[in-house]
Amino acid sequence: MLRGMHRDRVADLGNGLGDYERAIGVLPGLIPAGRRDTLVAQMISSLRRIEYIQAIQRRSISTDRLDPQSRLFDPIKAAAYLGRRGNTNEAVWLTFVAAHFGKHRTDEWRLTANVMGSFGQGPTWTATQFGTNKPDFHAMLVRNEALLRDPRQSGRYSNHRQYQSKQPDHIFRTFDTFYDWLFSQGSFQSLLEHVHRNCGQEPTAGFDFMYRMLNGVSGFGRLANSIFLRC
């Protein structure tokens, strides 16, 4: 149940949708009423995610957040740490990893840490490490296939990613196709410049252009695309 500020937002967003419909006309996609409630809940979830990222940007971040062998490992906070230091490519890579595996309610980042840290054996699969050692990453997944199959040892995807496969080939393909997307123009900064050349500076058009570009990432999908771009 939403409380306090978030409960107030339910009313504000619901009233806003009502005002829009009175001015423009009924939105057929919001019938029956349950769909309206779902949309409002998703909008609040998006706002909370944005506020979480903004809060992280204001805080001090330990370097342990980057280490998948540490109990403090957190790819979102690690991405913020790297972004502050201008290491944009690695920050975006960690954001992708976080969006792909998600944070499980109980296991938290365990699955992410296991894959990124080679199940405690190293190396850590940064974008640079992955790009220069792709066969080794795939071999690491194959070696640990039995652990991946056991959620008690490997950890689990978050709820929104729960139907994703843990097969080594599938995980490798997702990482490989995202790496190709990230460096399709040489760097993330160059990719942004490519987006702006094609659709200008208007944020909505840029979001849509990048969203469609992400369709080439295997196993990512509509929801992961949106979560990644919102981060």
H helix and E strand count, the chain: 13, 0
Q: Does the pLDDT at position 231 exceed 60?
A: no
Who has greater pLDDT, 112 or 43? 112
User: Count of residues for the chain?
Assistant: 231
Structure tokens that stand for 58 in this block = 């204001």
Distance (Å, whole) CA 131 – CA 124:
12
**142-to-69, 115, 130, 166, 209 alpha-carbon distances in Å:** 20, 11, 15, 11, 35
pLDDT in tens, 60-111: 789 999 999 999 999 999 999 999 999 999 999 999 999 999 999 999 999 9
Q: Kindly state whether residues 101 and 157 are assigned to the same domain.
A: yes
Residue indicated by tokens 């309206």: 36
Q: Kindly state whether residues 174 and 224 are assigned to the same domain.
A: yes
Q: What is the pLDDT of residue 4?
A: 46
Distance (Å, whole) CA 107 – CA 113:
11
Q: What is the pLDDT of residue 2?
A: 46
Q: Average pLDDT in the 181-188 region?
A: 96
Helix, strand, coil share of the chain (percent; to 5): 70, 0, 30
Structure tokens that stand for 87 in this block = 């290491």
Q: Kindly state whether residues 215 and 128 are assigned to the same domain.
A: yes
Q: Kindly state whether residues 67 and 17 are assigned to the same domain.
A: no
* The domain boundary residue, chosen from 59, 87, 105: 59
**201-to-46, 92, 193, 195, 196 alpha-carbon distances in Å:** 22, 20, 10, 9, 6
Contact 79, 112 (CB under 8 A): no
Q: Kindly state whether residues 153 and 81 are assigned to the same domain.
A: yes
Q: Kindly state whether residues 124 and 192 are assigned to the same domain.
A: yes
Print the domain residue range for 28. Answer: 1-59
Q: What is the pLDDT of residue 52?
A: 59
Q: Kindly state whether residues 53 and 64 are assigned to the same domain.
A: no
Q: Does the pLDDT at position 5 exceed 70?
A: no
* The domain boundary residue, chosen from 37, 59, 81: 59
Q: Kindly state whether residues 69 and 119 are assigned to the same domain.
A: yes
Q: Kindly state whether residues 41 and 152 are assigned to the same domain.
A: no
Q: Kindly state whether residues 66 and 52 are assigned to the same domain.
A: no
Rounded mean pLDDT of the chain? 87
pLDDT in tens, 140-161: 999 999 999 999 999 999 987 8
* The domain boundary residue, chosen from 59, 87, 109: 59
Domain count, the chain: 2
Q: Kindly state whether residues 50 and 88 are assigned to the same domain.
A: no
Q: What is the pLDDT of residue 13?
A: 84
Distance (Å, whole) CA 12 – CA 19:
10
Q: Kindly state whether residues 37 and 73 are assigned to the same domain.
A: no
